[in-house]
């Protein structure tokens, strides 16, 4: 499968690197081998696992067959002959990337690797504002324009016009309407203003201007539709050039909208949504994250959701039948991370100081066939509060493979999300959770969430146990995490 390691400069940079890993190239999975040699197939740099798809990967099966001890023929079920891979040298194609490494026993003609690829993930939505510092302008009490309160106003003296208020988003979107409200006097409401866009925050392009605007009463609100189809941009602002006579100019609300029927506005908190294609390339697996920043708490989080279908008029957190929030606390500074990706899920591990945090996002391997379990989506991370931090000591702050309350949600065949919790916090202690019926085994060996007592193999090696999801009410064995296992050494591999 696609394995990626890296260093993120902060949590936002990590999101960018995650998006690149998921969406820019396809992914590989399902490596099998049969033959006399004991070499390996790895990433192009020789790292364990990590063979990858390429920029134009599709759902496709490949055979990599030895011609002799040093050469392998690479055949794609759809692409046909991709050429010959040489042992010890990277094989790089726009559909597939890997390296065959020699072992202590030489390969022989006919030795064969088989593997599969899936297409890249698709970026569906990337907009909104990271934090209030990305809502800019020269109004006095600037924050009042974006606080959704009608009794607070931003002001600027008429003699000091123009007044400017704008946003910088995490990604481009098109503004189709602007809504604004005024304060205590219609005479201090805006009479003329212009909507402008920018790709870099430096060079601005006019989109549409309004003049002769009148306000019927104090604290009125009006929506101004953009008549053209303006290109998407990351930066948007309104430049106010005149009030209705009195000073100062007042504005108590300003919203940028991509659709007036949507339940969100572009100056709201940032949201990011991707769609995984599944291993067969024909699925629509939706996962998304809200960005959460609270510098006072040193909280810089990606808060994850999953849902079965995407309504473009709904925010991430209001999508129908969503999983609810699962929190992955990161930091506003450098940290190391590891990704394991295929066409249906991504596993994230990050090291924040001395703490490892993790998330499992996407399909797991259900025991029922797709005709019975149509959408086996799992969203698991470290907890269910949006403002958690990596230094939390509460026992509910755990990993998806041994979840606390409530770090893991799984979608069942009846299309209901059920929580899974092995342990819960009580004061400074943690106990097996006997109230939450969903569990992950073997880290919980009973329905009460009691811990597993597992030993090494008799030869001292570490066993790998499947991580099994299930619930006692209704009694149902859900399935297993894809590509994850429990071991006596690290707890997760």
| Of the listed ranges 32-36, 188-192, 227-231, 256-260, the one predicted with least confidence | 227-231
Statement: residue 493 has pLDDT above 70: no
Statement: residue 428 has pLDDT above 50: yes
Q: What's the residue count for the chain?
A: 493
Distances (CA, A) of 407 to 159, 221, 260, 398: 55, 41, 34, 7
Statement: residue 210 has pLDDT above 80: yes
| Structure confidence at residue 426 (pLDDT) | 81
User: How would you classify residue 156: left for phi > 0, otherwise alpha for psi between -120 and 50, otherwise beta?
Assistant: beta
Q: 303: cis peptide before it, omega within 30°? A: no
Statement: residue 247 has pLDDT above 90: yes
Angstrom distance (rounded) from CA 391 to CA 401:
19
Q: Residue 309: phi, psi to the nearest 5? A: -140, 155
Angstrom distance (rounded) from CA 4 to CA 43:
10
* Confidence bin at 489 (pLDDT 50/70/90): low
| Structure confidence at residue 485 (pLDDT) | 92
Residues whose CB falls within 8 Å of the CB of residue 383, separated by 6 or more in sequence, listed in order: 326, 327, 392, 396, 397, 398, 404, 405, 406, 407
Closest CA to 23 of 123, 114, 169: 123
| CB atoms inside a 10 Å sphere around CB 231 | 11
Statement: residue 446 has pLDDT above 90: no
Q: Residue 207: phi, psi to the nearest 5? A: -110, -50
Distances (CA, A) of 203 to 170, 193, 200: 18, 18, 7
| Structure confidence at residue 48 (pLDDT) | 65
* Confidence bin at 490 (pLDDT 50/70/90): very low
Question: pLDDT tens across 104-154, in order?
Answer: 999 999 999 999 999 999 999 999 999 999 999 999 999 999 998 888 999
Statement: residue 447 has pLDDT above 80: no
Statement: residue 348 has pLDDT above 80: yes
**Mean pLDDT for the stretch of residues 47-65:** 89
DSSP type of residue 177: E
Mean pLDDT of the chain: 94
| Structure confidence at residue 345 (pLDDT) | 98
Closest CA to 136 of 211, 204, 190, 209: 204
Pairing, β 249-251 against β 154-156: antiparallel
pTM higher than 0.75 for the full model? yes
| Structure confidence at residue 49 (pLDDT) | 65
Statement: residue 431 has pLDDT above 90: no
Angstrom distance (rounded) from CA 400 to CA 220:
48
Q: Which is the CATH superfamily of the domain at 129-257?
A: Galactose-binding domain-like (2.60.120.260)
| Structure confidence at residue 491 (pLDDT) | 44
Percent over 70 (pLDDT), the chain: 98
Statement: residue 488 has pLDDT above 50: yes
Question: pLDDT tens across 363-412, in order?
Answer: 999 999 999 999 999 999 999 999 999 999 888 999 999 999 999 999 99
Angstrom distance (rounded) from CA 65 to CA 190:
72
Each domain of the chain, given as residue ranges in start order, spans: 25-119, 129-257, 271-487
């Amino acid at each position: 499968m696609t394995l990626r390691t890296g260093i993120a400069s902060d949590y936002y940079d990590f999101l960018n690197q995650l998006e690149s890993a998921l969406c820019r190239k396809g992914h590989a999975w399902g490596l099998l081998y049969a033959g006399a040699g004991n070499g390996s197939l790895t990433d192009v740099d020789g790292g364990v696992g990590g063979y990858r798809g390429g920029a134009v990967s599709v759902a496709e099966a490949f055979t990599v067959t030895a011609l002799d001890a040093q050469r392998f023929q690479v055949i794609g079920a759809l692409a046909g002959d991709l050429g010959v891979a040489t042992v010890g040298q990277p094989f790089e194609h726009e559909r597939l990337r890997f390296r065959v490494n020699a072992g202590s026993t030489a390969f022989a003609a006919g030795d064969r690797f088989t593997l599969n690829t899936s297409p890249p993930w698709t970026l569906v939505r990337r907009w909104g504002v990271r934090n209030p510092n990305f809502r800019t302008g020269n109004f006095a009490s600037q924050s009042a324009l974006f606080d959704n309160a009608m009794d607070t106003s931003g002001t600027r003296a008429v003699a000091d016009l123009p007044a400017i208020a704008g946003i910088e988003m995490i990604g481009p979107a098109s503004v189709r309407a602007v809504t604004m409200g005024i304060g205590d006097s219609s005479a201090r409401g805006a009479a003329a203003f212009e909507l402008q866009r920018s790709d870099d925050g430096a060079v601005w392009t006019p989109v549409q201007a309004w003049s002769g605007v009148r306000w019927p009463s104090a604290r009125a609100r009006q929506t101004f539709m953009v008549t053209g189809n303006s290109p998407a941009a990351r930066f948007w602002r309104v430049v106010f050039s005149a009030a209705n006579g009195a000073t100062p100019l007042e504005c108590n609300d300003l919203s940028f909208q991509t659709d007036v029927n949507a339940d969100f506005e572009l100056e709201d908190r940032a949201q990011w949504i991707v769609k995984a294609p599944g291993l067969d390339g024909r699925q629509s697996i939706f996962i998304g994250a809200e960005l959460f920043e609270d510098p006072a708490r040193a909280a810089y989080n990606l808060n994850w959701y999953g849902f079965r279908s995407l309504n473009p008029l709904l925010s991430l957190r209001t999508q129908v039948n969503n999983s609810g929030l699962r929190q992955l606390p990161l930091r506003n500074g450098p940290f190391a991370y590891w990704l394991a990706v295929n066409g249906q899920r991504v596993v994230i591990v990050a090291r924040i100081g001395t703490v490892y945090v993790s998330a499992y996002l996407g399909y797991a391997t259900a025991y029922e066939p797709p005709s019975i379990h149509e959408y086996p989506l799992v969203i698991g991370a470290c907890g269910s509060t949006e403002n958690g931090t990596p230094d939390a000591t509460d026992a509910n702050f755990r990993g998806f493979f041994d979840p606390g309350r409530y770090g893991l949600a799984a979608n069942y065949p009846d299309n209901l999300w059920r929580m899974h919790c092995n342990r819960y916090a009580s004061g400074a202690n943690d106990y097996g959770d006997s109230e939450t019926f969903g569990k992950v085994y073997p880290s919980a060996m009973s329905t009460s969430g009691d811990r597993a007592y597992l030993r090494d193999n008799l030869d001292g090696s570490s066993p790998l146990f499947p991580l099994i999801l299930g619930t006692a009410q209704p009694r149902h064995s859900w399935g297993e995490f894809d590509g994850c296992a429990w071991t006596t050494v690290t707890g997760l591999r």
